[in-house]
Chains A and B, each alone.
Chain A
């Protein structure tokens, strides 16, 4: 068990800066997700923690111990790879025991630990099978067992569920999280799937172009995005430019392309223009008690099972609105949307 600290990490490939002065701290036993689009540097960061990628500058600390000059086989990390990387010439038992074998754990103890971990992840009866004889879900469990059996200080996950179907992914993400909670191992999880990040994490670092855009718990990330990238990457968002008309004690009045809006955020003096964001599900239909009332016409109604996604034209702007269940408002309908003042985020 250990804390992880990354200080001013930089990694370049030629002239391309893949990790750009990244600083991060992870508490002991915490589950942190690095979330971002492809090419944002999240996997490179993970591999730098494992020592599989040489960094150009900065430092990584496990506890108080700097890792820059520590080779990967001497770091107390264990990684679950996207491809699982199960050794095809070894059976399940030997794959799981590999790390213990490298640490010269006595055979009898290896056998016991492997047996325990196999029971923990639900692999009983599969010890003699080769990786090619396993399903995707089983391979993923073997990769997980192989990582946790060595009792590492830090567990690393490189998009381990991306090759699985949606139902299996949903099930396994919960299992991984429960296993991590039970073992209390500091874990870093890389994914581009925002739902996965929101479900599994204690904290999320949203990355873009090698930098952290926002860092916080899932609720804060989702409810209070600080910038348009985070607002748009996590879930859906309506983002508009607004002129600041008036700043009051506990609220601000803003002029937007969809009309005047009131936000309960007191905007700093001197800011003339700001970016606003709110979530589609924050808007309510025909709620007259709200001060923010927006009239528009439905242009599209998309039924998605548990909710309906409405596209609403307001002046030149198309707003996204999500309502639970089936919506009676079909394209062509005129509707009035209410927007709570506390749901409007002022972005940096």
Chain B
């Protein structure tokens, strides 16, 4: 096979997959951007301008943005905090390791919507959690853990759903840290906590933050779990987008909210990569 034919063969092999992503991404993104500026509106005549943006950029959108950012941040970093001891422990060999691995992976096989309903049974006003602690006399009245302003139920479901993924990503990051680094630190006087703080944590952060970014973006743009367990107000950005698009027929504003979600995701991904550089200092 000549060099030219070889390059052509590679191009044709990649075209379906890469082409599919590129085409739909560019087409969908392009359409959304145009719609946010009044082009190709599904609900009204084309009216080019910033009027859709002017309608969307208000305090309610800001509340949704803050809410989505908050639950994404707490879910992602809360999940990371829980994932670290699990990932560290799973580096060892021990009896029952396979069983623990299997248990940790169960949430990966449960669809998000199903997970939301399952955990709702535990956290809802008359769920298992409240009924148990009421019966035990620890609570005098049930706690509002779902559909609350803080998004406690949403955060709990998101952490449950994403913990295995974070643990997997973190385990991969930890495996890449040579054991000699920990031995050297220990040999130089670092106890377990110091080894974690000065060696394991900084060296695992770039890998860990990759998982955090992916979880953050997923939670930031989440619709399903917020519908099941989220507050009425403020709704998440994705719910707000759906309401405007499908509910009110305001496709232009829905497009603006979609752009906000995309730009927000890009911004936070950039922020996290800067954070990783800061922690590791270019190692």
Contact = CB atoms under 8 A, between A and B. Distances in A.
Interface of A: 47, 50, 52, 71-74, 77-79, 81, 83, 85, 87-90, 98-99, 102-103, 130, 146, 150
A73 B191 contact: yes
B282 interface: yes
A81 B184 contact: yes
B188 A89 contact: no
Size category of the B interface is 20 to 34
A79 B184 contact: yes
A130 B283 contact: yes
Contacts of B198: 87, 98
A83 B184 CA distance: 11
B188 A98 contact: yes
A103 B189 contact: yes
Contact of A89 (B180, B189, B191, B283): B283
A81 B186 CA distance: 13
A130 B282 contact: yes
A238 B61 CA distance: 89
A47 B179 CA distance: 13
Interface of B is mostly: helix
Contact of B187 (A52, A88, A130): A52
B188 A78 contact: yes
A72 B187 contact: yes
A87 B187 contact: no
A47 B189 CA distance: 15
Contacts of B180: 81, 83, 85
B186 A52 contact: yes
A73 B283 contact: no
Interface in B37-61: none
A117 B239 CA distance: 62
Contact of A150 (B185, B188, B199): B188
Given A87-B199, A88-B203, A81 B189 contact: no
Q: Which of A71, A88, A103, A150 has the most CB of B within 10 A?
A: A88
A146 B183 contact: no
Contacts of B203: 88-89
A89 B184 contact: no
8 contacts: A72-B186, A73-B194, A74-B189, A79-B187, A83-B180, A89-B281, A89-B283, A98-B190
Given A85-B184, A99-B188, 17 more contacts: A73-B186, A73-B189, A78-B188, A83-B180, A85-B178, A85-B183, A87-B185, A87-B283, A88-B203, A89-B203, A98-B190, A98-B198, A99-B189, A102-B189, A102-B190, A130-B282, A150-B189
Given A98-B198, A130-B282, A130-B283, A85 B181 contact: yes
Given A83-B178, A83-B180, A130-B282, A89 B202 contact: yes
A77 B187 contact: yes
Contact of B183 (A52, A98, A102, A150): A52
Interface string B194-219: 10001100110000000000000000
Given A89-B283, A130-B282, A130-B283, A78 B187 contact: yes
A16 to B, nearest CB: 16
A79 to B, nearest CB: 5
Contacts of A89: 202-203, 280-283
B201 to A, nearest CB: 10
Nearest to A158: B180
Contacts of A146: 188
Nearest to B206: A89
